[in-house]
A and B are shown apart, each in its own frame.
Chain A
Amino acid sequence: MLKQTEGSKAVAEAVALCRPEVICAYPISPQTHIVEALGEMVKAGELTPCEFINVESEFAAMSVAIGSSAAGARSYTATASQGLLFMVEAVYNASGLGLPIVMTVANRAIGAPINIWNDHSDSLSQRDSGWMQLFAETNQEAVDLHIQAFRLAEELSMPVMVCMDGFILTHAFERVDIPSQEQVDAYLPPFDPRQVLDPKEPISIGAMVGPEAFMEVKYLAHAKQMQALELIPQLAAEFKQTFGRDSGGLVRTYRADDAETMIVAMGSVLGTIKDVVDEMRAEGHKIGVLGIISYRPFPLAQVRAALLNCKRFVVLEKSLAVGMGGIVATDVRMAVTGTGLRGFTAIAGLGGRSIPKASLHKLFRQAEKEELEPVTFVDLDWDAVNKQLERERQNRHSGPIAENILHDKGIVSAKFG
């Protein structure tokens, strides 16, 4: 049913349609509205059979999900930012044990400095954790990806994160088509676990594995993600048949056919990028877009194919590998190895810095002329940076960086825009 609703509410409805049997959650912005809405549904008896478990931390949330999934229950949780970091040990255990848990990550920056706003640092910090990671461009896609994620997770017996931009998507009201229970039931069969803890037929899950078998177990985790490269497009195609919508898949291009400059990105910023590309196309610029939906597994071949005919590309990412540059950009450059393509990295939107069209117009035009540095920090306030660097040169005891910059900018409390 088509409705105008909040992203978090829409995702909660989608998750409920997937008939989870255990939802464990610990609140953290900007994820909270999702589990709140699910909690209300469970309490109202609209979602049965389902146990909603309030836990004492994110570490407990993932630990409960591991237990319930191992016991054969379809298990779901959601988190963000520091919450994801706090559960990391259990995040690796979930994938290491091959448990098909689905988790929403409402993407948010990682502190310090403490910051509740959106970027992709949290999910990307878990890129090697063995979880698959799917990034939503819109709230409609966030809804659709959750439905696909349970299929994907359970067919491979591996966990999936559905990543959606915190606040920008989670708190946005927009038009969303919520499928019917019949449609979701037709697409997503009941959970048939590959391994299950059952007192009637006792088994061990999670035994110590020594050098004689550890590499094989790890290789199989990799092999499953390689299988996912084939399964994800199949699930998207089947989704289209059932629901009538293009949603999910590995990558998606926009106005790319004759593009000389390609912009690569993930998540909701793709919408703003497409608007800028339309405006530039109207002026005759040959520019297109490559959206990456599946960040893990990373679709090297599809990214390479999408970029092969351009002359240069910019990876615009809401993440920073400190001491290196881009995170997504590193993978994209790996995909185009040997092509001789010029690649630029643009770091944008960290900690919720807005990414306006005007800044993208400037960036993309510089990219077309290949005037960009290898790594560009979009809308960075160089005066503020240089002032702090000068302060550090002048004074051995220059004090805390974040507080100095806030003081220089005359900001007494965080604000948006």
Chain B
Amino acid sequence: MFQIRIHGRGGQGVVTATEMLSVAAFEEGRHAQAFPSFGSERTGAPVVAFCRIDDKDIRLREPIMEPDALIIQDPTLLHQIDVFAGLKPDGYVLLNTHHSFDALGLGDLFKGRKAERFCTLPATQLALKHIGRPIPNAPLLAGFAALSNIIKLESVVKAINKKFSGKVADGNVAAATEAYNMVKEKMKEFADA
């Protein structure tokens, strides 16, 4: 079982992101379970949502305390809550920022971990460019697909098209596609370095 925890703020589409991730996994014939942190969500307040992916029925109903992957939709959360709590030693981290981990003072995060599983992505900028609104969830899902290979870009695109239609869907697909290519490029640079 692969477990993903997404941190963000109310209004950033955190819950929708896990739902779309579960739909993407379902499109690949896998079992998936997405659920929110059940808080009384308010715009701007920290929000957590979860997604499990497996090849068999998922029965577990506990919150994800030891994630295989973290998607962090807002870097300012790093000062507010311990978003890295329980992250598995070989876990993936995708952070929405146009800065580098070093510039954010997060270089130490890699210690004893697989640095190639850590990636930043300017998802808000991509969303503004393609969708016209700072909703970074779709590009982050595509970035996660590129980083982890747990799901395919085409499945993320399918999930976007199930959730949205018209211009909103097209914008999200464009943002997701550029995000996917950006992360793949970073992975290539990392492998070449």
Contact = CB atoms under 8 A, between A and B. Distances in A.
Contact of B60 (A167, A173, A272): A272
Given A4-B22, A172-B33, A174-B22, A272 B61 contact: yes
Nearest to A268: B61
A327 B65 CA distance: 30
Interface string B7-47: 00000000000110011011100011111111110000000
Interface stretch (A147-155, A180-188, A351-359, A401-409): A351-359
Contacts of A275: 59-60
A44 interface: no
Contacts of A144: none
A4 B38 contact: no
Contacts of B58: 174, 271
Contacts of A174: 22, 31-34, 58
Contacts of B65: 356, 417
A352 B60 contact: no
B63 interface: yes
B31 A167 contact: no
A158 to B, nearest CB: 31
B48 interface: yes
Interface in A337-374: 352, 354-357
Given A173-B22, A416-B37, A4 B32 contact: yes
Given A167-B38, A168-B35, A173 B62 contact: no
B33 A117 contact: no
Contact of B23 (A4, A117, A168): A4
A30 B38 CA distance: 9
Interface string A242-271: 000000000000000000000000001111
B63 A417 contact: yes
Given A271-B61, A274-B59, A356-B62, A416 B33 contact: no
Contacts of A270: 59
A282 to B, nearest CB: 15
Contacts of A274: 59
A411 interface: no
Nearest to B35: A172
Contacts of B37: 416-417
Given A117-B38, A173-B34, A175-B26, A6 B62 contact: no
A4 B37 CA distance: 19
Contact of A173 (B18, B39, B40, B63): B18
A269 B61 CA distance: 7
A314 interface: no
Given A4-B22, A116-B40, A416-B48, A173 B59 contact: no
A250 to B, nearest CB: 21
A414 interface: yes
A163 to B, nearest CB: 15
Nearest to B46: A415
Interface in A163-213: 165, 167-168, 171-175
A274 B58 CA distance: 11
Contact of B62 (A3, A30, A272): A272
Given A4-B22, A6-B19, A175-B26, A167 B36 contact: yes
A414 B42 CA distance: 12
A171 B59 contact: no
A116 B36 CA distance: 14
A271 B61 CA distance: 7
A414 B40 contact: yes
B32 A416 contact: no
B61 A173 contact: no
Interface centre among B25, B60, B61 (most CB of A within 10 A): B61
A270 B62 CA distance: 11
Contact of B63 (A30, A116, A138, A416): A416
A272 B59 contact: yes
Nearest to B34: A173
Contacts of B34: 172-174
A171 B35 CA distance: 6
A116 B65 CA distance: 22
B38 A416 contact: yes
Nearest to A3: B26
Nearest to A117: B38
B9 to A, nearest CB: 14
Given A272-B61, A275-B59, A354-B62, A171 B38 contact: yes
A173 B48 contact: no
A171 B62 contact: no
B35 to A, nearest CB: 4
A175 B61 contact: no
Nearest to B64: A417
Given A138-B59, A173-B19, A416-B63, 20 more contacts: A30-B38, A116-B38, A116-B40, A117-B38, A118-B38, A167-B36, A167-B38, A168-B38, A175-B26, A272-B59, A272-B62, A275-B59, A275-B60, A355-B62, A357-B60, A357-B62, A415-B39, A416-B37, A416-B48, A417-B48
7 contacts: A117-B38, A173-B33, A174-B31, A174-B32, A174-B58, A271-B58, A357-B62
Interface of A: 3-4, 6, 30, 116-118, 138, 165, 167-168, 171-175, 268-272, 274-275, 352, 354-357, 414-417
Interface of B: 18-19, 22-23, 25-27, 31-40, 48, 58-63, 65
Lowest 6 A-B CB distances belong to which pairs?
A271-B59, A4-B26, A173-B34, A167-B38, A172-B35, A416-B37
